[in-house]
Structures are given as structure tokens and as C-alpha cells.
Amino acid sequence: MTARVLCIAGTNTDIGKTVAAAAIVAAARAAGRRVVYVKPAQTGLQPGEHGSDADEIRRLAGEVETHEFVRLPDPLAPAAAARVAGVGIPTVAGHAASLAELARRDDVDLVVAEGAGGLLVQLDTEGGTQADLARALLDDGIDCGFVVIADPVLGTLNLCALTQEALDHRGLPCDGYVFGTWPTDGEVPLVLEQNVLDLPRVTGRSLLGRIPSGAGRLDTATFTASAPTWLTLPGTKASSGTGA
């Protein structure tokens, strides 16, 4: 049996996707899963420069195995960053083959693959997207699905509905949605409360959890102990809360 590949997509940028991915990694490890984190395409950093998404995953979730398949210096979508840099990058098919190799290892239960932004951001110069990456994995017999990270603010329901429509159109499984930042001080704005109620209706998928604002500033021990209370992963015991 192969490990599952859980693709992490966002509905926008700067919405807490990497911190949410770290929480997913930490929660899965707390549930006894052997987890590998992958960032197929890291942009905005020079080779050897610290501060990658994989670095952030290890800082928050502990000493987890991480992989980065390609790095590009400009903070752009991978295809655009490769064009500006004048370099070739792996194709989506190449990324899928590398992920499948990890998923087929005997010592891995879950591969968490964080995309670059949204579902249809181009990961290669041939127009391949994270959606195409997931389709290639499924066609190769790899169990694969999505968790979508969203901002809980006004307008998110439309972005989530559009993302879900794109997933459904391509026949790609989606486990559910996570709000990447959730206020912990003071009264929760009315629109956020209503979005919690409405998101399952507009997407047909569950809201799996809410990551507290400021979670990315926690130390490793506090983050890993708290992450299982912020979200519920499919196939794991229900969490005791959502960080709200």
C-alpha cells in the first residue's frame, strides 16, 4: 500500500498556507503517521538562503523530513520565475514521479505536498498546475486529495466555491477546507462567524479547522502540542477544538 499524498492549495497568497501545512504535519504526526513534507517549487529565495517553506515546517512541526524539488530566486509563480531567471524547471510529470517515489516508500504514511499559491498556478513552463499534478498522481495509482487553505474574511466563500468547482470539474478529491488565520483576541467579526456556517454549504465540503492568528510565532513544543486541537484530519480522531 502506498502513502497518501495530501496536496495543500490556497485560495490566495499570504493567508497562512504554510503555517496551516505545518499544523497538518504536526497533527498527522501526533496521530502516529510517518510524514514527509514536500515543496515542489520554492520561489523567492536564492540557493542556500534560509527562510524557505520547508524551513518553516521544520521550525514549527519539528524534525520532519522535507524535500524541495526546485528553487527560483524571484517571488513569482514558478513558471514566471523560471522565465525571468532564464532556466528550465521540472515538469509537472517530473514532480509527480518524485512524489510517487516518496509515496511508495515503506516508511512513509503521508506525503504533504504544498503548492505555490492556488490550484491553477502554473508549476512548470508547459502550463502544468497543481491540479494537473494531482491528476498525474491519481492516474499513477497514488491515493491523492486536497486540503484547501482559505482566508476567513469577506469574499472567501466565492473563492472557495470557485476552487471547489475547479476541483470537481477535474474529478479531484477534496478532504475539506481550513481557515489559515482565525482571531483569538476580542469578539469574532460577524462575517467570520457566518462564513463558518456557510462554507460547507457553498463548497459541499467540511471546514476541517481554524488556525489561530499568531500560531506561526509559537515555539516548536507549543505548536506541535496545540496543532491537533486546531483541526481534524480525515482518518484521525476528532480534535477537541478549532482554536476559535
Instruction: Verify whether residue 17 is a known catalytic residue.
Output: no
Closest CA to 42 of 13, 73, 19, 10: 73
**Per the residue annotation, which of 17, 29, 33, 39 is the catalytic one?**
39
Q: Answer yes or no: are the C-beta atoms of 7 and 40 closer than 8 Å.
A: no
Q: Answer yes or no: are the C-beta atoms of 166 and 131 closer than 8 Å.
A: yes
Question: 37: how many CB neighbours lie within 10 A of its CB?
Answer: 26
C-alpha cell at 197: 456556517
* DSSP secondary structure, 203-234, as one string: HSS-EEEEEETTGGGS-HHHHHHHHHHHB--T
Report the distance separating Cα 90 and Cα 69, nearest Å.
8
Question: 192: how many CB neighbours lie within 10 A of its CB?
Answer: 18
Q: Give first-to-last CA distance, the chain, whole Å.
A: 37
Cα–Cα distances in angstroms (integers) from residue 105 to residues 1, 109, 141, 163, in the given order: 9, 9, 14, 31
Q: Answer yes or no: are the C-beta atoms of 137 and 166 closer than 8 Å.
A: no
- Where in the sequence numbering do the catalytic residues fall? 39
